[in-house]
Amino acid sequence: MFTRIRKDIDGIFQRDPAAKNVLEVVLCYPGLHAVWLHRIAHALYTRGWVILPRLISNFTRFMTGIEIHPGAKIGEGLFIDHGTGVVIGETAEIGDNVTIYQGVTLGGTGKEKGKRHPTVGDNVVIATGAKVLGSFKIGYNAKIGAGSVVLKDVPPNSTVVGIPGQVVSKQTKKVNSISQGVNLDHNNLPDPVKETLLGMQSNIVMLERRIAELEEAANMGA
């Protein structure tokens, strides 16, 4: 238990430059409080309790602004930064060293039974306001851009942006543990709309040049 607590605290120091000391992290980080309270609720939930785990979840939401269903499975080193508005559904599964920013939803898409929430791999970063909806997998080391709506599988080592979310880049480098560093650089993501517009602009310039050449040739022939 103490080893896991230590990993939770170390994960915050690794990924949050605002963290000054252990006492500050333990007392003032609502994301950490939400994870710790969830572990208590989850332990009770897996033993067949229902009401008490849900009460703990509701208390956690009231205190931290973070709602985690007691049934959700969470690995080590989850860092919920700020956290207000974060919602994690009942059948969601989160791997190790995952980073989630405020306003993120790991939710379902309807009233289906069974597995209906996403499975998030190790070292994933989910940026502010992203919505990940459905029972699919987010591969390890993936990055979800701010405000994205993800509705299908995300390959490992890839970056997803947009509504609906589209894979805009893939990398081959794999990060195996937090000691190697989780890539938090989610503010410099590709812009597929901009790239499409630039491509269209380039084609328009090429067509205008070709039309000018044809007109010049026609004038010379006349």
Give the domain range for residue 48.
Answer: 1-190
Q: Over its length of 222 residues, how does the chain's per-residue pLDDT go in tens digits?
A: 778 888 888 888 888 888 899 999 999 999 999 999 999 999 999 999 999 999 999 999 999 999 999 999 999 889 999 889 999 999 999 999 999 999 999 998 877 788 999 999 999 999 999 999 999 999 999 999 988 999 999 999 989 988 888 888 776 554 444 444 555 555 566 666 667 777 788 889 888 888 888 888 778 766
Residue 206 lies in a domain: no
Residue 144 lies in a domain: yes
Residue 200 lies in a domain: no
Q: Which helix (H) or strand (E) holds 185?
A: none
Residue 126 lies in a domain: yes
In whole angstroms, what is the distance from residue 166 CA to residue 192 CA? 9
Residue 131 lies in a domain: yes
Residue 208 lies in a domain: no
* pTM score: 0.75
DSSP 54-117: HHHHHHHHHHHS-EE-TT-EE-TT-EESS-TT-EE-TT-EE-TT-EE-TT-EEE-SSS--S--S
Q: Report strand pairing: 73-74 vs 131-133.
A: unpaired
Please provide the size of the chain in residues.
Answer: 222
Residue 212 lies in a domain: no
Number of folded domains in the chain?
1
What CATH code is carried by the domain that includes residue 135?
Answer: 2.160.10.10
Structure token pair of residue 118: 């996403």
